[in-house]
Structures are given as C-alpha cells and as structure tokens.
C-alpha cells in the first residue's frame, strides 16, 4: 500500500528527527474521500508539544546541515529525485483519493510537479555562487535557518516540494505542516526523504490544524522563517503570529485573476481553451484566471462559446476513464462554492450553465456543477471573492483601457492572462496588469520562473532560483578583498 514502509502504517505518527514518533496528543482526524464522503484514513493531530520537539530537532540539525558543502547537497537532492521517481504512482493515487483529483491529472501534473521542483532546485544549486566580490567586500550567502512550512490541499505536492526542495538546497532545516484535508501524500513524501538519506532533523513533519500547529510554528522564537501558502485570511494570521519575533515570511495567498480576451483574439480558440483550463483541478487553483473579460460587442458570442466548452466537461469518479474533473476537496469548500453561486444568482448575474447543487446523476460526494455566469459586473461578489471552484464569470469591457482597469480592480495580484492573435499586442497589455504572473495565449507555468503575487496575493517568490534565494541570507564581510 502507498503508506506502508517496512509493514507499518504511519498515519498515527509524525516524522521528527529522522524517526516516526508517537504524538504527544491522542487527538485524531478522519481523512475523507470527497468523491464518496467515506473515511479513508485517520491521522494523528499535533499539539504544541509536538511542535516543540520538531523545532528543537531542526534547530540542532541546522548547526551541521548549514555547514554541508554544495556538493553534498547536490548528492542529497539527486538521491531524493531517484527515490521520488519510484514513488510517483503512490503519490498520485493518494492525491486522487484524498482531494478528488482525477487520476490522469494526478499522474501527469500533481505528482510530477513535486519532482520538477527538486530538479529545478538542483539546477539552481549547481549554478549558484555562494560568494561574490563587491569592491573590497565579500558578499556571502548563508542559509536562513529553521523554516516552518505550512501548505494547502489544492496542489499539495506542488506546494510542499516548492518549499522543501529549495530549503534543502540552501542548507536550511524545516518543519512541514501539510493540510489536514490532504495529508496522505505528505506522509509518503516524508518516507521518500527518509529513504533518500536526508539527515536526522533536517526535515520534520507534524500534522495538525492551523490554530494549533500552524500558530505554534509561526510564532515560535526558534523558527527563523515561515513559508506559507493558503488563503489571504490565514496569511494575515500567520503574519500576526510571526511579527513579535521579526522572522522572515514568504506568502503565496489568494487570487482573483483576470483573463483579457482582446478584440484581435480568435474568440473560439481562446475562450474554449481558457474555459477548459479554468476547470482543471475543479477550479481549485490560486492562479486560476476566473474573471474572463470580453469585448462588450462580443459578449453574446462569448456566452455561446463558453457554454459549448462547459457542456463538454465530464465530471465524475476520479478513477473513471474519461473523467475530466472530480469533486472539490471538502464539504466546507463545497458549501462555500454553493454560497457564492447563489450570490451570483441573487445579485443578478446571468446563469449560462451549471448552478446550485450536484450535477445530474450524482447523489454523493462534493461534486460541483461546472458553472458559467455572464453579464457580471466587477462589483458583484462572484467577481470580488475567490471562489476556488469550477465557476467562470464573464465580464464585458468597453475598450482596452477599461479592460486593464477592470483587471487591476481587485485586492489581489497573483496572476492574469491575455489572449491576442498579435503577440506584441498581448505583451504590451501584460505589462500593465498588476500581478506577479501573466499567461499569454494559454502559456503554462514553468517551475524555473518566479511564482508569486502582488498586493494581497502575498510576498516573496517560489520556484527555481527565485525560490532558492528566499532561503538565503546575504552577509557582507568588509575588507575581505585586498
């Protein structure tokens, strides 16, 4: 089975100081399969005592691991990559079961993305120079220290590996608190690092909830850095908890990203592609471009294309052949999406397709109807709040300047998209969107390019060299160069 190692299930233990240890608390939580609403595992839930043990282990381990050579960490990353490659199928199956991702998506995206971050971190480490001259000063880069990592459930391995891989490359030690909604892949991940020979105390895992384990980690005086991915609301709490000890914080938070379909775009191609892209992972992506901005004169045509594309979306059992999207990850998420769909109806948006309740023929599981709203104005709730589900809003714009203003009229600034037949035109518009990332004509992510946002979408960057540098301190040694 995916979670077995030497015949022992590890769901009732934490990984601390290189060992699977019994938690201090007897509190547990059921892991629910969102497709069936059935319990598939029961995990231990951590306490402040468990956090203290994990932080102490990481603090001790940092003394030696921070002194390891570049070559030693290169070898370690290569070992992790080799073991990870053997466990990809286990990781994919766990993700499908615990958060509802179709198995095809788990196999081609969820599990491989984690591997990609280790490969990107390895390349960043190989190319990085830890010392550089600056006049008579030597600038030396050193690991930031003990890092707390708090990760979400929507792309669990992506967010775990995007933090752990560069931290190991930099020479940091860490404590991971994965989402309690989708924790099983993280336990397999811990097994991978253990088998790969990560030194004791360098990587530690404590399951638990945000108010208990998350708060204890973000406020702990021996934690030097918190890397957090999640909602803006939770990110604010992390920042508050971390403020008294003035630790470094990197945050990848919410988004309400706009997709500008320019006048010169091929409407059929762009809308069909981007409607389908939005629904991947049941719309549960922080960088989802869920506000589609179309020319006012082309709204009726855009509605027809978006409806036709949505009608082709197959929703159902994540393990069934042909399924394109599965359920959303939890009942809480399902209820939130239903509330927001209702708000769209109540506030006067035109419901093109989808709506409230489960899809026809499905009576169990947290399945949401792929939904499209048209004639949405940017002051409506569904245009302001992050829905985090398979819901698209079509917003009309008068002219290009109006489109740019609407795109930027949000507290968020994570991602955006521009569609145009003229790449130079798309480039000019992209440079006016106040976000950390912009996708031109459906271009996908690259794990060696910076990932992160402006405004209330967070601060700091992840992926590749950019994420690697977040785990380093710069030290000036004056007079070191004659």
- Residues annotated as catalytic (active site), given as ranges: 252, 286
Please tell me the distance from the alpha carbon of residue 353 to that of residue 313, in angstroms, as a whole number.
12
In whole angstroms, what is the distance from residue 388 CA to residue 156 CA?
Answer: 15
Neighbours of 229 (CB within 10 A): 26
Alpha helices in 347-473 (DSSP H): 381-384, 400-408, 423-430, 464-469
DSSP single-letter state for residue 281? G
CA 188 to chain centroid? 18
Chain centroid offset of residue 367 CA: 21
Q: To which H or E segment does residue 33 belong?
A: strand 28-33
Say which residues have a Cβ less than 8 Å from residue 285's Cβ, sequence separation at least 6.
154, 155
Q: How far from 53 is each of 22, 201, 222, CA to CA, in Å? A: 11, 10, 12
CA distance 284 to 255: 11
Angle at 171 between CA 167 and CA 173, to 5 degrees: 65
Exposed/middle/buried for residue 26 (C-beta within 10 Å: 0-12, 13-18, 19+): exposed
Q: How far apart are CA 61 and CA 174, in angstroms?
A: 10
* CA 280/CA 473 separation, integer angstroms: 37
d(CA 281, CA 433): 25
The SS3 assignment for 184 reads: helix
Please state the separation of Cα 398 from the chain's center in Å. Answer: 34
Q: Are 1 and 87 in contact (CB under 8 A)?
A: no
Q: By C-alpha distance, which of 389, 262, 421 is closest to 315?
A: 389
Q: How many CB atoms lie within 10 A of CB 9?
A: 14
């Amino acid at each position: 089975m995916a979670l077995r190692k030497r015949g022992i299930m590890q769901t009732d233990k934490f990984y601390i100081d290189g060992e699977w240890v019994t938690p201090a608390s007897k509190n547990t939580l059921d892991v629910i399969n969102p497709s069936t609403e059935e319990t598939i595992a029961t995990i231990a839930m951590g306490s402040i005592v468990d956090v203290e043990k994990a932080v102490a282990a990481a603090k001790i381990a940092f003394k030696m691991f921070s002194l390891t050579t570049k070559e030693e960490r290169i070898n370690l990353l290569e070992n992790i990559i080799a073991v990870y490659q053997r466990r990809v199928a286990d990781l994919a199956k766990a993700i499908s079961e615990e958060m509802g991702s179709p198995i095809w998506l788990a196999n081609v995206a969820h599990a491989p993305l984690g591997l990609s971050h280790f490969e990107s971190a390895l390349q960043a480490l190989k190319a990085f120079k830890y010392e550089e001259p600056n006049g008579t000063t030597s600038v030396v880069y050193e690991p930031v220290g003990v890092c707390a990592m708090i990760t979400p459930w929507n792309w669990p391995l992506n967010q775990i590996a995007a933090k752990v891989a560069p931290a190991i490359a930099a020479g940091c030690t860490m404590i991971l608190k994965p989402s309690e909604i989708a924790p099983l892949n993280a336990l397999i991940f811990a097994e991978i690092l253990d088998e790969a020979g990560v030194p004791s105390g360098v990587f530690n895992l404590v399951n638990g909830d945000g108010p208990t384990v998350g708060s204890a980690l973000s406020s702990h005086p021996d934690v030097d850095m918190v890397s957090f991915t999640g909602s803006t609301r939770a990110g604010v709490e992390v920042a508050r908890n971390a403020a008294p000890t003035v630790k470094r914080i990197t945050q990848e938070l919410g988004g309400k990203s706009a997709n500008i379909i320019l006048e010169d775009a091929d409407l059929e191609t762009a809308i069909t592609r981007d409607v389908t892209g939005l629904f991947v992972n049941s719309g549960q992506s922080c960088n989802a471009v869920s506000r589609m901005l179309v020319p006012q004169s082309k709204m009726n045509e855009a509605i027809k294309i978006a409806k036709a594309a949505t009608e082709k979306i197959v929703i159902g059992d994540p393990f069934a052949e042909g399924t394109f999207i599965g359920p959303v990850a939890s009942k809480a998420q399902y209820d939130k999406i239903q509330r927001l769909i209702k708000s769209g109806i109540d506030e006067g948006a035109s419901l093109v397709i989808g709506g409230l309740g489960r899809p026809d023929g499905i009576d169990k599981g947290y399945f949401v109807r792929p939904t499209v709203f048209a004639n949405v104005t940017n002051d409506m709730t569904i245009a302001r709040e992050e829905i985090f589900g398979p819901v698209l809003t079509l917003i009309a714009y008068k002219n290009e300047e109006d489109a740019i203003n609407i795109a930027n009229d949000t507290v968020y600034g994570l991602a955006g998209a521009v569609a145009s037949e003229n790449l130079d035109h798309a480039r000019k518009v992209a440079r006016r969107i106040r976000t950390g990332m912009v996708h031109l004509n459906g271009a996908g992510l690259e794990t060696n390019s910076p990932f992160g946002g402006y405004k209330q979408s967070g601060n700091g960057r992840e992926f590749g060299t950019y994420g690697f540098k977040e785990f380093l301190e710069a030290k000036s040694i004056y007079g070191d160069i004659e």
